[in-house]
Structure 1
Amino acid sequence: MFSGRAWRVVRFGDPKAAVELQEMTWREPSPGQVLIRTRTAGAGLPDVLMTAGHFPLLGEPPFGLGEEVAGEVVAVPPGSRFAVGDQVAGITAFLEGWGGYAEYAYVREMSAMRIPVGMTDEQAGGFPIGFRTAYAGLVERAPVEAGQTLLVLGAAGSSGATAVQLGKALGATVIAIAGSQEKLNFCTRNGADHGVNYRTDDMTARIAEITEGRGVDLIYDPVGGDTAATALRSIARNGRIAMIGLASGAPVSLDSMDMLLRNYTAVGVLATGDDDAEKEAAVWDHLRGLAERGAITTPVGKVYGFDDVPRMIAEQIAPGAGKTVVRVA
């Protein structure tokens, strides 16, 4: 048994009142899990939704926060593909109430990988969710092919930034959509070929200019709302929109007649992983290989200390560019 501290939601509401640091114990991991001593944990908008009671996959408090972590394996069940001492990054058992803003964390073995050589703790802690989601969207659900044009909404955010990188690694031309010049500069450094400011540019006209009137093959949409609706005007015939999230507060509204007449497809993406352990391990091996070759890397933004978790959650409503990470140890 292992003892330590963990941030947990004890009531729904404002993070500073809803989240408490508690002493916890962690038993030996169950089959399908490993227990790690946490060094870093990735953060994002889901923390806000969970704390407010708006995350559809969780029940009532108390429960832990933090969907992804990196650290050292301290306990494994019999037959695990990992061993004590392995350096691992992966997705936590947050759906079972155990999060990653904690000194120890249960990690789903199917959703984990050994940390690539040269990857920093901050990069490792913020790697799993964004890149597994991008893989689900761009490889599994709405595959983008080399030579196609990929439009990424919220391209400076933790979800969009990983899609920019993976899209480039897959050979796509990437158009990044963001809301400030500072964020567009970040997108360019992150690998985007073109940038459009949805606040100041005529988005439809700029995309038409970039694509020479053809439109985009795939829209990667973690934003939803009016921004995604505007982006749909620029979808090419036989194009796809991959619906990842709703950072705007609402999903994109779809017009079935418009879809019919312009012959495009909408695909929902929830990166829950494959039930086939070998297939899921192959996904993580692919992502790890891309990281080791330098094709993808976590675009780390602001890094918070462990004691700053409540403030960090509150600031995820309007985060800066890149992936927010919490240093636990």
Structure 2
Amino acid sequence: MQYLVLKIVTNCIARSVMFSGRAWRVLRFGEPKEAVELQEMTWGEPPSGQALIRVRTAGAGFPDVMMTAGHFPLLGAPPFGLGEEAAGEVVAVPPNSRFAVGDQVTGITAFLEGRGGYAEYAYVREESAIRIPADMTDEEAGGFPIGFRTAYAGLVERAPVEAGQTLLVLGAAGSSGASALQLGKAVGATVIAVAGSQEKLEFCTRYGADHVVNYRTDDVTTRIDEITGGCGVDVIYDPVGGDTAATALKSIARNGRIAMIGVASGAPVPLDSMDMLLRNYTAVGVLATPHDDPDTETAAWDRLANLAKQGAITTPVGTVYGFDEVR
């Protein structure tokens, strides 16, 4: 329902330019208890564009489960590390780095290269990292980058929602949804949160939702029609897919946009091209990979950092696990 943040306790030894420690690695596809093992590793000086951090916390999310099962489309065969995001202290940087040794940062790890954040040290992509704001806890920092950068890609870059428009967030009590809910409010949208229990709806209300809909007990189409006065929603943020997203599409406004974020249901939203034509709406895919223009990418992260400093967005921490509990 909320962010899961992996607590890392470090006891690593640094020797010269090499750093030694432990890392959780996927050695074979399967259930985490069988697929993931703890290994001793070394980390050398970071390559250009990356910084090496001593990890204090790392965010735990659904993509990690997909990775262990072999269902994550951007990774090949094992072995590789888990953990898309991590926070900690910079211990090594390349020449001309944005960061300095001793900086406290949170960012997206080099997990696509097989080096994730469930480790005592991790490489983070410099263009996808920020200095941790003063009021942000380690646990909040560890779960900040992926959810909010994805929400930014969806709601600012790919399917922009504007002040005064209506945003419908599916899976709004999950990490992706909760990030989008808050970012949508921060840019001035009216936010309708969709979730599956009273507890989750209360969670969404606490984090700023203007309206909540229980997809298990409500007639979703009728409720959205009531909320919007029959106008429909301008943007749908969809990390769920499947039947839930298909139902939400019935309520999309003319010239509306659906941002396809993920497939938590197990299947993407089924799209009907004739329906899209007749009702004049757009579907866009959203993958928050680094922007081709480093300045644009830095600007995105700076804006997110400023919103966090202002208290407009924050990581809703759910459960905190110890390093030995990764499986």
Q: TM-score range by the shorter chain?
A: over 0.9
Structure 1 Cα separation of the partners of residues 127 and 302 of structure 2: 11
Measured against aligned partners, the alpha-carbon deviations of 1:247-277 in whole angstroms (never above 9, x if no partner) come to 0000000000000110000011000021221
Paired with 1:274 and 1:167, the residues of 2 have a C-alpha distance of 21
Pick the aligned partner of 1:21 from 32, 38, 42: 38
Instruction: State how many pairs are aligned.
Output: 310
Aligned pairs (5 A) from 1:115-134: 115-134=132-151
Instruction: Determine if the alignment matches structure 1 residue 229 to structure 2 residue 276.
Output: no
Give distance in 2, aligned partners of 1:279 and 1:217.
25
Match in the other structure for 2:87: 70
Q: Secondary structure at the match of 2:326?
A: helix
Query: Matches of residues 1-329 of structure 1 in structure 2 within 5 Å?
Result: 1-310=18-327
Contiguous gaps of at least 5 residues in structure 2: 1-17
Residue type at the aligned position of 1:181: Q
| Whole-angstrom CA distance in 2 between matches of 1:189 and 1:305 | 27
2:9 aligns with none
- Mapped to 2, the partners of 1:302 and 1:90 lie a distance apart of 20
- CA deviation digits over 1:195-248, x for unaligned, max 9? 000011100000000111110000000000000000000001110100000000
- Deviation, 1:302, is 1.2
Task: Compute the RMSD of aligned alpha carbons.
Answer: 0.5
Report the Cα distance in structure 1 between the residues aligned to 2:253 and 2:98, rounded to whole angstroms. Answer: 44
Distance (Å, rounded) in 1 between the aligned partners of 2:291 and 2:240? 25
Q: In structure 1, what residue type is equivalent to 2:193?
A: A
How far the C-alpha of 1:169 sits from its partner, in A, is: 0.1
**Distance apart, 1:45 and its partner CA:** 0.6
Offset from partner CA, 1:306-328 (integer Å, 9 cap, x none): 11111xxxxxxxxxxxxxxxxxx
For 2:99 and 2:57, how far apart are their aligned partners in 1? 19
Measured against aligned partners, the alpha-carbon deviations of 1:60-118 in whole angstroms (never above 9, x if no partner) come to 10000000000000000001010000000000000000000000000001100000111
Q: Measure the CA separation in 1 of the matches of 2:251 and 2:316.
A: 27
Identity of aligned residues (%): 84
Amino acid at match of 1:203: V
Q: What is the rounded CA distance, in whole Å, between the counterparts of 1:302 and 1:213 in structure 2?
A: 39
Distance 2:207 2:264 in 1: 21
Partner-residue secondary structure (3-state), 1:273? coil
Aligned to 1:324: none
Supply the distance in 2 between the matched residues of 1:265 and 1:274 (Cα, whole angstroms): 22
The amino acid that maps onto 1:298 is: T
Looking at structure 2, the residues matched to 215 and 64 of structure 1 have their Cα atoms a distance apart, in angstroms, of 43
Q: Distance in 1 between matches of 2:177 and 2:89?
A: 28
Question: By how many angstroms is 1:299 displaced?
Answer: 1.2
CA offset at residue 282 of structure 1? Answer: 1.0
Tell me the equivalent position of 1:313.
Answer: none
For 2:24, what is the secondary structure of its paired residue?
Answer: strand
Structure-2 separation of matches of 1:232 and 1:301: 30
